[in-house]
Amino acid sequence: MSTYTQQVKSQFLNNFNHFFAVLILSIYPITFFIGTGILNFSVVLLDLILIFEIIRKKKYYFFKNSLFFYLIGLWLIFLLNLFFSINIENSLGRSIGFIRYILFVMTIIYFFNINNGLYRKIILNTWSIIFLIICFDLIYEFFLGKNILGFTSYMPGRLSSFFNDELKIGHFYYGFSLIVLSYLLNSKLLEKYLSINNEVNKKDFIFILALIFIVISFIIGERSNFIKTLTMLSLFIIFIKLNFNKNKLVIIIGLIIFFLLTLNFNQAYKSRFINQLIKPLLNNPITFVSSTNYSEHYKFGLKIFSENKFFGIGLKNYRIEVGNKNYVNSSIHPHQTHIEILSELGIVGYLSFVIFFILSYLNYKKNSNKSDQYFKLAGFLFIITSFIPLLPTGSFFTSHAATIFWMNYAFMNLSQKNLKL
């Protein structure tokens, strides 16, 4: 029996609640495919395990750090906003329910930092395997028209993978891609299995893998998530100080040629990326936004904001206002994060988010730790690319989007000097 296996067995026998936490965190990516109910149940269960752990070991000081107070402060803004909600019953669950994400962030930070990173290794090894299986599945679906389970997308030029008839794989992929990439760069897996020992060769391998991840994001067919993934991974490559040379330039040119050939010979992708995105954008960048399918949602969201400037209409109430105003092109959210926050929380809520992220950034810079630098960078880049202006998005507050967002936020704050775990 290997030393690693003995360590794992010993830790889990002594800490049965740790076993459940690591198990749930390890299979956490799979819960997205099973359904929202299971996803929320997993998050709440992890929260309860953390609370039990803190009480059992009397580690109350764990919550005495600035990060936790920033999150509580944001939550209080959501709760205060209830007094200005046009439908309190509709807002109540989302406002109160935010506490699960606060605890979820703290759960990830806690279990990723105890036992000298042993649990972190188990969880991220599992996530990497799951993610690489999904990558294979997406390539399989792109070439054969169905995934390995036989699921097919109902929309030409879009892949669905294990989500079957729900086109949500693009955001999932965007949310996990850089975490996996940063783990491979940070771990000893490349040394152990590929004999890549020095830092320069590791970064070269990560460069190739990042380009592959970008290609897969492209073939998924979700334009906004592709732009965000492309931006995020490109910034990561720049920030890790990769040495560029002629070989890398040739590879990038080859990648561009692949994109051009795909767009030229695949009519579905040509329609989505050329006809609906690039041509209108080049023809008239000013009118491009107002001519998109989402422009009416943007306009209505901004109209709601203009009529409720200070406090908005309350969380989850965009859908209510749509019905009240007999809006023809109805939707449950305005399809843009900035507009969603402004319309539902007003300028007070929006500025609260701005202050929250400024404080979080300062905390991110203060708690720098070389061993976690790539994880923290991954989380940070996900956060900033999530708020690219004008890009269409899903609702920021849904379980799927929120869980991925706050997971990455936890990675951005993974090392906390004052936790003393």
- Encode pLDDT of 40-93 as tens digits: 999 999 999 999 989 988 888 888 888 999 999 999 999 999 999 999 999 999
- Percent of the chain past pLDDT 70, that is, above it, reads 90
Mean pLDDT of the chain: 87
| Cα–Cα distance for residue pair 405/22, rounded to 1 Å | 20
- Note whether 387 and 246 are same-domain residues: no
Same structural domain, 20 and 100 = yes
Cα pseudo-dihedral 204, 141, 228, 344, rounded to 10: -150
Whether the CA torsion 403, 406, 408, 411 is positive or negative: it is: negative
pLDDT at 114: 85
Q: Kindly state whether residues 213 and 252 are assigned to the same domain.
A: yes
Tokens of 321: 């206002």
What pLDDT does residue 103 have?
Answer: 96
Are 198 and 330 within one domain? no
pLDDT for 181 equals 95
Asked whether residue 268 falls in the same domain as residue 332, the answer is no
**Same domain, yes or no: 278 and 328:** no
Domain boundary pick from 260, 275, 297: 297
Residues 366 and 289 in one domain: no
Q: Measured between alpha carbons, how far is 258 from 262 in angstroms, rounded to an integer? A: 6
Residues of the chain with pLDDT under 50: none
User: Can you tell me the distance from the alpha carbon of 411 to that of 106, in angstroms, rounded to the nearest whole number?
Assistant: 10
Is 174 within 8 Å of 378 (Cβ atoms)?
A: no
Query: Residues 6 or more apart from 79 whose CB is under 8 A from it?
Result: 95, 96
302 and 275, same domain (yes or no): no
Cα(376)–Cα(109) distance, integer angstroms: 11
Q: How far apart are the first and last CA of the chain?
A: 28
DSSP class of residue 272? I
The set of residues, in sequence order, having a beta carbon less than 8 Å from that of 248 and lying 6+ positions away, is 204, 207, 242
Per-residue pLDDT, 11 = 60
Cα separation of 318 and 334, whole Å? 8
Domain boundary among 272, 297, 322: 297
Segment 136-139 long-range contacts (CB within 8 Å, at least 24 positions apart): 137/161, 137/162, 138/169, 138/173, 138/216, 138/219, 138/220, 139/216, 139/219
Q: Cα–Cα distance between 208 and 251 in angstroms, integer?
A: 8
What does DSSP assign to residue 346? Answer: H
The H-assigned helical ranges of 271-317 are 279-283, 285-291, 295-307
One domain, residues 209 and 345: no
Q: Which residue has the tokens 């000893």?
A: 188
Q: Pick from 162, 135, 138: which is nearest to 149 by CA?
A: 162
Please give the structure tokens belonging to residue 277: 């995105």
- Same domain, residue pair 163 and 308: no
Domain count, the chain: 2
Q: Clarify whether residues 233 and 358 are in a common domain.
A: no
Please check whether residues 231 and 278 belong to one and the same domain. yes
What's the one-letter identity of residue 298? Y
Task: Tell me the residue range of the domain where 199 lies.
Answer: 3-297
- Contacts of residues 9-14 at CB distance under 8 Å and 24 or more positions apart, as own/partner, are 11/115, 11/118, 11/119
Decide which of 239, 262, 297 is a domain's last residue.
Answer: 297
Token pair for 152: 């097919």
Residue 244 has a pLDDT of 77
Residue 235, pLDDT score = 95
